[in-house]
Amino acid sequence: MKAKEFNDLTERYVKEKLASFEFKKSGVHFYMHESPNIMVLHKKTHKSFFEGFCLAFTHDFLKNTKDSKGKTKIPPYLEDFPISIPLDMLEKQYTKYKTSKDFDYDMNFLTRKVEPTRKYSKSNPGRFIDFEELLKNDYKAEKYISDSIDLVNDFGMKFFKEFSVQTTYRALTKFSNLDVWQLNRFLEETKEYMIGNNIAIPKQKQSFIKRLFK
C-alpha cells in the first residue's frame, strides 16, 4: 500500500467511524477542537518512516497553535505538543487505571524521548521495520488503520473528555528537575492562562522520602 492510499484510507475511516465528532484534516493529521482544548490524531514519522499513530493534545491559548492571522494551526511535530501518547499505550493505561489522572506513563514527548537521548524524534528501527512490513500487506495495513480509529473512539474520546489545563500542567511539571526551554515556554503560557482564568494550579505530589523529612 502506497503512502497516499494509506492516508486516503485513514481519512475514509475517520469520516466513517468518527462521524459523530467534528474532526478536521490538517496535512496528514486530523484534529478536534473544543476550546481551549485540541486533540490530534498524529501520524508519527521520522525521516519519512512511519512509526504509528499517536494522539497529541494541546490548547488554543498556546502560541504555537496560531498562525500569523490568529487562525488555528496544528503543530507538525510531537515535540510541539505538551501531551502525546501512542494509541496502544493509551489503551494499556486505561486498562490499568480508571482515569487519566492516575496514568504512570510520561505523556510529554520532550521528557519521554528527546531529553533522555539529547536528540529530537528518537529513531526506533524496530518500529520502522514493523510498519514497512505492514504497508506491504494491504489487508494488514487497512486493519491497522481500522483498529487505530476504534482506539480513538474507545479511549481517545474518553481521554479528551478528561483532558484539561490541569492535565497539561501536571504533565509539564512531572520532571521538575529538567530545564528545557520548550517545556518552560509551555509551562509559562499555561500558568499565565490559568491565573488569568482563575483556574487552580495543581499541587505537585511529593515522594514518600520528601514527605518524611519535610
55-75 residue pLDDT tens: 999 999 999 999 989 899 999
User: Who has greater pLDDT, 59 or 121?
Assistant: 59
pLDDT band at 211 (very low <50, low <70, confident <90, very high): very low
Beta partners for 59?
37
Q: What value does the mean pLDDT take over residues 198-207?
A: 75
Four-residue CA torsion sign, 12, 150, 43, 128 = negative
> Quick check: bond before 36 cis, omega within 30?
yes
pLDDT at 129: 46
User: Who has greater pLDDT, 44 or 124?
Assistant: 44
Beta partners for 52?
44
Helix (H, G, I), strand (E, B) or coil at 206: coil
pLDDT at 109: 87
The set of cell numbers assigned to 167 is: 492535565
Judge whether 138 and 71 are in contact, CB under 8 Å: no
Q: Which residues contact 144 (CB under 8 A, 6 or more apart)?
A: 134
Residue 127 has pLDDT above 90, yes or no: no
pLDDT at 125: 43
Cα separation of 26 and 153, whole Å?
19
Helix (H, G, I), strand (E, B) or coil at 84: strand
pLDDT at 132: 72
pTM: 0.86
User: What burial letters (b/e) apply to 114-143, b meaning 16+ CB within 10 Å?
Assistant: bbeeeeebeeeeebbeebeebbeeeeebbe
AA letter at 186:
F
∠ CA 113-119-125, rounded to 5°? 70
7-47 residue pLDDT tens: 999 999 999 999 999 999 998 899 999 999 999 999 887 66
| Mean pLDDT score of the chain | 85
Q: How many Cα atoms are found within 13 Å in the side-chain-facing hemisphere of 3? A: 8
